[in-house]
């Protein structure tokens, strides 16, 4: 059976899952989305993802034509129909089909798409040995232009930073905010560790309120590892003892080189490893 994609309450074979060329999601990147993991048949942190989706939609004046409960049921059904145990969900809400021209009022109804599929961003080796990253010359969107807290369909600034990373021969780039402080990566949040304390940039410095970020912050607390939200300069990255990234698709991945500088010993550090293990234990435990 072909992969089944949910669009506005109906299932389509992967090959037939299509939307209009007049959809403002395509024409203008006008919409919001979520990436969600499913572990052992359970939607991981479903409420947090749905909350962020509805918050993002509200911020861009987009009405989602379903309740959060209806969307949760639709996700569950899509997982079941595709017989997935572990998978990745892409939940997309577009402004809907309209006319040429920006006016969102020409789009009578938002469209909702649920794709369930597998995802692997990075090779297993990088999770064991760590990854190299660069800091990008492409800055994170200024909050007065487009709040980085909105998970919108317009990822162009992240994509430009990602291209810069690929050109440099690394898989991820760290983005700074317009003031020059570290915000996050193109699709992951960032954490550094120095002298036993874990630091991550505050949301006000341009970080997305990552669901995995919150889980890691809670795991630090329950494991008695000191954690602080703090402004991070590029220099702090260079003198960090350890560094790791978090994201739904990436999960938790150690960083061992930044802009050509070795991080700590050059191997994933002890606190990173402890948190990585705690994370994998946590995602498997919550099913009970």
Nearer to ligand PMP, 32 or 208 (CB): 208
Judged by the rule CB under 6 A, the positions of this chain that interact with ligand PMP are 35, 158, 184, 187-189, 208, 210-213, 246-249
CA-angle at 9, arms to 283 and 41, nearest 5°: 20
Nearer to ligand PMP, 50 or 258 (CB): 50
Give me the least distance between CB of 50 and ligand PMP, in Å please: 12
Q: How far is CA 97 from CA 61, 62, 90, 102, 108, in A?
A: 16, 13, 20, 12, 7
Give me the least distance between CB of 264 and ligand PMP, in Å please: 23
Distance CA 233, CA 181 (A): 5
Residue 151 is among the residues annotated as catalytic for this protein: yes
Give me the least distance between CB of 42 and ligand PMP, in Å please: 16
Nearer to ligand PMP, 4 or 152 (CB): 152
Residue that has been written with the tokens 């050059």 in this structure: 266
3-state secondary structure of 259: coil
Strand 10-13 relative to strand 4-7, pairing: antiparallel
Structure tokens at 147: 């709040």
The answer to whether residues 135 and 184 touch, using CB atoms and an 8 Å cutoff, is no
Give me the least distance between CB of 218 and ligand PMP, in Å please: 13
Q: Which residues of 4-22 are buried (b: 16+ CB within 10 A; e: fewer)?
A: bbbbeeebeeeeebebeee
Question: Among residues 151, 230, 274, 281, which one is catalytic?
Answer: 151
165 CB-side CA count, 13 A: 23
**Count, residues in the chain:** 288
Paired residues of 91 in beta bridges: 34, 114
Give me the least distance between CB of 99 and ligand PMP, in Å please: 30
Nearer to ligand PMP, 3 or 203 (CB): 203
Kindly state the helix (H) or strand (E) to which residue 28 belongs, with its residue range.
helix 24-28
Nearer to ligand PMP, 107 or 215 (CB): 215
Active-site residue numbers? 151
């Amino acid at each position: 059976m072909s992969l089944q994609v949910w669009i506005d309450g109906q299932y389509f074979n992967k090959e037939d899952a299509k939307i209009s060329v007049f959809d403002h999601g395509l024409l203008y990147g006008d919409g919001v989305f979520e990436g969600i993991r499913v572990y052992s048949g359970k939607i991981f942190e479903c409420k947090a993802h749905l909350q962020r989706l509805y918050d993002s939609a509200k911020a861009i004046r987009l009405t989602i034509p379903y309740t959060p409960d209806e969307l949760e049921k639709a996700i569950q059904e899509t997982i079941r129909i595709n017989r997935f145990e572990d998978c990745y969900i892409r939940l997309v809400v577009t402004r809907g089909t309209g006319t040429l021209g920006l006016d969102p009022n020409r789009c009578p109804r938002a469209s909702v798409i649920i794709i369930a599929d597998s995802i692997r961003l990075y090779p297993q080796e990088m999770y064991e040995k760590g990854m190299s990253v660069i800091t990008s010359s492409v800055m994170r969107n200024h909050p007065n232009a487009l709040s980085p807290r909105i998970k919108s369909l317009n990822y162009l600034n992240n994509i430009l930073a990602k291209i810069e990373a690929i050109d440099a021969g690394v898989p991820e780039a760290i983005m700074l905010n317009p003031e020059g402080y570290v915000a996050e990566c193109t699709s992951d949040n960032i954490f550094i560790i120095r002298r036993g304390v874990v630091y991550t940039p505050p949301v006000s410095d341009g970080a997305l309120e990552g669901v995995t970020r919150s889980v890691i912050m809670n795991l630090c607390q329950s494991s008695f590892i000191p954690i602080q939200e703090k402004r991070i300069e590029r220099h702090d990255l260079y003198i960090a003892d350890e560094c790791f990234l978090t994201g739904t698709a990436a999960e938790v991945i150690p960083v061992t080189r930044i802009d050509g500088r070795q991080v700590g010993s050059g191997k994933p550090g002890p606190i990173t490893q402890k948190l990585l293990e705690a994370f994998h234990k946590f995602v498997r435990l919550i099913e009970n």
